[in-house]
Amino acid sequence: MSQLLIIGGGITGLAAAWEAVQFPRVEVTLIDAQPRLGGKILGSEIAIADEQPLMIDEGADAFLARVPDAVQLCKELGLEGEFTHPAVGRAQVFLGGELRFLPTDTVLGVPLDFESLAASGLISAAAVERASSEVDVDWPAPTGDVSIGEFLTERYGRELVEHVVAPLIGGINAGNVDRLSLQAVTPQLFAAARGGGSLTLALRKQQQQSPTDPTDPVFTALLGGTSVLVDALHDALEARGVQILTGSEAVSCSQSDQGKILTELSTGTISSDEVLICTPAAKAAHLLRSISPNTARQLEQISYSSVALLTFVFNKESIPGELLASGFLIPRTAQLLMTAASVGSTKWAHWDDGKHVVLRVSAGHSGDLRGAELTDEELILGLQADLQTTLGITDPAVATRVSRWPDGFAQYEVGHLQLIESIEQSLNKDCPQILLAGSSYRGLGIPACIEQGRSAAAKLVDS
């Protein structure tokens, strides 16, 4: 029997434990510093006076359906009956005092069709002309990693980057496209650019070669909220004999004379054959400081953005006009506190009780600390003012909730994947029985976290 300790019970650690129990002769212990499992996946009810409370996610509300790992894991846990998809898919950008739809024919904001880009009104006619000249140039393939902002500005001009690409990609990552890595954050753009020539033409060719069914949903959610997946994993793991310790913080890892890993916890010490660390990189650095100082130093180079996500519930009558999009994004040039708003009750039919509008509004990104530093009251007032600017809402909300995600988003800056490779090599040299997985490393979406957790667990228990 070999013993595997998994540190961190977010979706990465939970998926890792699920993978490990598929193997015979492995004893799995999963610990988390918090009193609950799930990490950045959390759902809770929001109370509305004299009405049924609404169950609304405080963090992730969906996962990509076209990347198979999350859908597959849900199926293994028998959760297909919980699947639902957005009722409305298209998003808008707030620009020049108006909400305008993003063009449909783009890959992460990179235009495939310049007519629909022009029709969106998101960039000027001169900027459309500048962007459309990208297809006429024989661009060299990138020789290494580069920032998304620099790469796309050179090809399509700054206006497209500021009004379309940055709100979209910067919004998903709470980051700055002038620092984020083309290779790590947008691997499909990097892969398309690798052949040289026009990126637009390469992406069009990719789409022709492997067309996606436009009726296939891009996102899947769970009717009871994303935390249904966490609860199902918790139950399934306990049923398979995994020892789950919450409220138990790992403090450091060391090696015993017998070749075991000793993990010191706030609640005692655990000895195991292998350890999988599924915490954010900064916490992993702390754990590895004595066993692999070089790994710890490199882990500390990964930076984070903090965000606040506020849920506002309004009476339907308080909303002037129709809400047609699933949400809207705010370019940095608009200088609002709000970075994005998701119109939950338009996007998800199960959040629409017929009487209320649910808005999930974000603040804070790399370079803007207000999401972390403002008080709850300041955030509510500031974002309500932004809702007046963007949607014309002047009535007060009937319910408000503030969810804070300090260091919520790892920033994959230029050279990120090279840094991760170096971290993995350094740890493998010092202590091959310890692996790292999770949102700080190779993808921060839920499917990418599940994939990382499962493959790291399989690698450890199969070795």
Ligand X SMILES: Cc1cc2nc3c(=O)[nH]c(=O)nc-3n(C[C@H](O)[C@H](O)[C@H](O)COP(=O)(O)OP(=O)(O)OC[C@H]3O[C@@H](n4cnc5c(N)ncnc54)[C@H](O)[C@@H]3O)c2cc1C
**Footprint on this chain of ligand X (rule: CB under 6 A):** 7-13, 31-34, 39-41, 59-63, 249-250, 278-280, 283, 307, 309, 405, 408, 438-439, 444-446, 449
- DSSP code string of 193-240: HTT-S-HHHHHHHHHHHSPPPTTS-SEEEETT-THHHHHHHHHHHHHT
Least Å distance, CB 408 to ligand X, is 3
Which tokens in the block code for residue 29?
């212990």
For ligand X, give the closer residue by CB, 17 or 444: 444
Closest approach of ligand X to the CB of residue 442, in Å: 10
Query: What's the closest the beta carbon of residue 139 comes to ligand X, in angstroms?
Result: 31
* Spatial distance between the Cα atoms of 166 and 168, rounded to a whole number of angstroms: 5
Q: Least Å distance between CB 22 and ligand X?
A: 19
Task: Identify the sign of the CA torsion 204, 208, 209, 212.
Answer: positive
The nearer residue to ligand X, 114 or 405, going by C-beta atoms, is 405
> Least separation, in Å, of the C-beta of 417 and ligand X?
17
First to last CA, the chain: 13
Query: In the complex, what is the shortest distance from the CB of residue 394 to ligand X, in angstroms, rounded to a whole number?
Result: 27
CA 348 – CA 84 distance, rounded (Å):
8
Distance, CA of 167 to CA of 94 (rounded, Å): 10
Closest residue by Cα to residue 221 from 89, 323, 132: 89
* Token pair for 91: 């998003």
Q: Which is nearer to ligand X, 167 or 438 (CB)?
A: 438
Q: Which is nearer to ligand X, 225 or 280 (CB)?
A: 280
At residue 367, the 3 state secondary structure works out as: coil
**Pick from 300, 302, 298: which is nearest to 425 by CA?**
298
* Least distance between ligand X and beta carbon 268 (Å): 13
Query: Which of 39/86 has CB closer to ligand X?
Result: 39
156/351 with CB nearer ligand X: 351
**Shortest Cβ 317–ligand X spacing (Å):** 29
Instruction: Name residue, tokens 């709100």.
Output: 167
Angstrom CA distances, 240 to 11, 235, 263, stand at 18, 9, 23
Between residues 37 and 161, which has the closer beta carbon with respect to ligand X? 37
Smaller CB distance to ligand X: residue 146 or 288? 288
DSSP letters spanning 19-60: HHTTSTTEEEEEEESSSSSBTT--EEEE--TTS--EEEESS-
